[in-house]
Amino acid sequence: MRPYSILTAFLFTACASSAADAKHGQMVMEDQGCVYCHTVRGQGPSREALRPSKDLSGRLTATYTVPALASVLWNHQPEMWNRLAAMRTQLPPATESDWQDLFAYLYSLQFEDLPGSAARGARTFTQKGCAKCHGAQAPADLKAVAVKEWDSVYDQVDLIYQMWSHAAAMYGKASKEKVYRGLPKLSTRDLMDLTAYAQSEQKHSPNSDLSLGPAAEGRRAYETHCASLCHLNGMALEKRLKNATFMDIAAQMWNHQLDMAYGQAISRDEMRRLIAYVWELQYSGPPGAGNSVIGGGLFRTKGCVNCHKDTSGAPRSPRPGPFTPFSMVAMSWGHGRQMHAEMISRGLVWPKLSPEEMSNLSEFLNTLRY
C-alpha cells in the first residue's frame, strides 16, 4: 500500500493531543463559505474565479505558524461577517478540530513544490557528476547501478532515501578517485528535477505528489537520529526552519550528510515520517511559546475584560479551556458575530491581534477559571 499523500491524508500534530487532516480542511473551507469570496490558485468550486478577494494559495502572512494564521483569520472576521450577512448566508457550525484541519490545508497550500523537469534533471545528472558512475540505461562504472535499475522512484522521498542510504559508498568512491572533495550539493530544484529524470528513465508516469507518513510517528525517528545528537535547545529545528517546503528539508538533509559522517541508518518509512515531522515542527513551533503575564495585560488593554469578568470585575474565561490559537478562532467564529454586534452597540472596536499577542492571550486564558 502506498504511503499517505500530502493532501489526501496528510496528518500532523499541531496540538499535542490531536491531529489535523489537510484533506478535511479543504472541505471545511468550502463548508464555511471561504469559497464564496476566495479562490485557490485562481479557481473556485466551479473551476472559475469568484469574488475578487485574496487567493488563498498566495502568501497570507510573512511567516507561517499557527499563531500567525490565527491572527490573520481573527483580524479578518468582521469583514467576513459583513459579507456573509449581505449574502444572507447561513453556515454550519465549525469545531476547533475543523479549524485545525482548515489551518493544515491552508498551510499545505503555501509549500507545495513545483513539478520537476526531466530535461533539467538530465542536465543536473551530468553536471553534478552522477553520470560519471551511474548511466541512464547502463552504468558507466560496472560497480554502479544504472538509473533504470534503481529501486522505483515513485516520488522525491524515494530518491532522497536511496541517495541517503548510498551516501557513504558514494563519498568513499568520490574521495578515492578525487571526483569531488565531497558529495555534490543539491538544491530543492535539483532534487525535484532529478526525481522527474529518474521517473522518465524508469518509464514511470510523472508524479510530483509527495507521499509522507503521519508526522506524529516521525517524532521517534527525529529524537533518535536528530535531537539526541545535535538538534536540541538553540539547534532545535523548530527554531531554525522558516517557510521550508518538504523538499527544502529533504535537500537540506542531503547536504547535511557531510556533517553527519554518514552514520545514521534510517528506513524508507522512517524517512517519510521524519520529513513530515520536521516540516510540522516549523509550523507548530515550540510548545508554550506564549507569555501569560503579557497576555494578562492584553486581556485588559484589548478590552476583553469589558465583557469577560466576574462580579468582582476580575478576568474570567469566556469558555472552558484549554485555549490554543485554533480554539481562539473557533470561539470567535462561532460566537463572534453576536459578540461583534454587541461591541458595536456599545461603541467598542473589534481588537486586532498580532501573532505574538495571539500566543500570549491564549496562554493567559489558560490560567483563568470559567
Residue 52 lies inside a defined structural domain of this protein = yes
Residues 123, 93, single domain; the answer is no
CATH number of the domain encompassing residue 23: 1.10.760
Q: What is the model's pLDDT at position 120?
A: 94
Average pLDDT value for residue range 204-224: 75
Does the pLDDT of residue 318 top 80, yes or no? yes
Answer yes or no: is 287 within a domain: no
292 pLDDT band, cuts 50/70/90, is: very high
Mean pLDDT of all residues in 123-128: 92
| pLDDT for 208 beyond 70 | no
Last residue of a domain, one of 62, 77, 110: 110
Q: Do 104 and 22 lie in a common domain?
A: yes
Domain presence at residue 45? yes
The residues that bridge with 211 in the sheet, in sequence order, are 5
Higher pLDDT, 332 or 45: 332
Where does residue 19 rank: exposed (0-12), middle (13-18), buried (19+ CB within 10 A)?
Answer: middle
CB neighbour list of residue 49: distance below 8 Å, 6 or more residues apart: 39, 42, 43
56 within domain boundaries: yes
Angle at 280 between CA 278 and CA 285, to 5 degrees: 100
Within 88-218, residue ranges assigned H as helices are 96-110, 118-127, 156-165, 167-176, 188-201
pLDDT value at 111 more than 80: no
User: Among candidates 170, 191, 147, 192, which has minimal Cα distance to 258?
Assistant: 170
Q: Tell me, what's the pLDDT at 357?
A: 95
Stronger pLDDT, 104 or 49, i.e. the higher one:
104
- Judgement on whether residues 20 and 67 belong to the same structural domain of the protein: yes
Residue 75 lies in a domain: yes
**pLDDT for the residue numbered 17:** 35
Residue 196 identity: A
Shared domain for 101 and 133, answered yes or no, is no
Which three three-digit cell numbers place residue 203? 518509464
Verify cis geometry, omega within 30 degrees of 0, for the bond prior to 351.
Answer: no
Same domain, 28 and 89: yes
Q: What is the mean pLDDT of residues 26-50?
A: 77
Q: What are the helix (H) ranges across 288-324?
A: 292-301
pLDDT at 193: 92
Q: What percent of the chain has pLDDT over 90?
A: 17
Q: Are residues 139 and 48 in the same domain?
A: no
- 104, 137: one domain: no
- Reference 364, options 332, 314, 340; nearest CA is 314
Q: What is the pLDDT of residue 52?
A: 61
Q: Please report, rounded to a whole number, the percentage of residues in the chain having pLDDT higher than 70.
A: 81
Q: Would 342 be classed as within a structural domain?
A: yes
Q: Are residue 139 and residue 49 in the same domain, yes or no?
A: no
The reply to whether 103 falls in a domain is yes
pLDDT, tens digit (0-9, with 9 covering 90-100), for 342-355: 888 888 889 999 99
- pLDDT at residue 46, as a whole number: 52
Within this chain, do residues 99 and 33 fall inside the same structural domain, yes or no? yes
User: Are 25 and 63 found together in one domain?
Assistant: yes
**In whole angstroms, what is the distance from residue 237 CA to residue 279 CA?**
9
Per-residue confidence (pLDDT) for residue 345, from 0 to 100: 87
- The residue among 110, 129, 149 that closes a domain is 110
Would you state the torsion angle of the CA atoms of residues 136, 137, 139, 144, taken in this order, to the nearest 10 degrees? Answer: 80
So what's the pLDDT on residue 113?
A: 62
> What is the structure's pLDDT at 121?
93
Note whether residue 46 is domain-resident: yes
Total residues found in the chain within this entry: 370
Residues 92 and 145 in one domain: no
Range of the domain at 54: 11-110
Q: Of 110, 131, 161, at which residue does a domain stop?
A: 110
pLDDT of residue 15: 36
Pair (320, 351) in one structural domain: yes
Going by C-beta distance under 8 Å and a sequence separation of 6 or more, which residues neighbour residue 307?
Answer: 339, 342
Query: Residue 12: its pLDDT value, please?
Result: 40
Confidence of residue 184 (pLDDT cuts 50, 70, 90): confident
pLDDT band, residue 16 (cuts 50/70/90): very low
CB 145 within 8 A of CB 139: yes
Rounded Cα distance, 37 and 84, in Å? 10
The total domain count for the chain is 3
Copy the grid coordinates of residue 199.
521517473
- What one-character-per-residue DSSP string does 328-357 give? HHHHHHHHHHHHHHHHHHTT--PPP--HHH
Gap between the Cα atoms of 276 and 214, Å rounded: 7
Work out the pLDDT band at 54, boundaries 50, 70, 90. Answer: confident
Residue 45, pLDDT score: 60
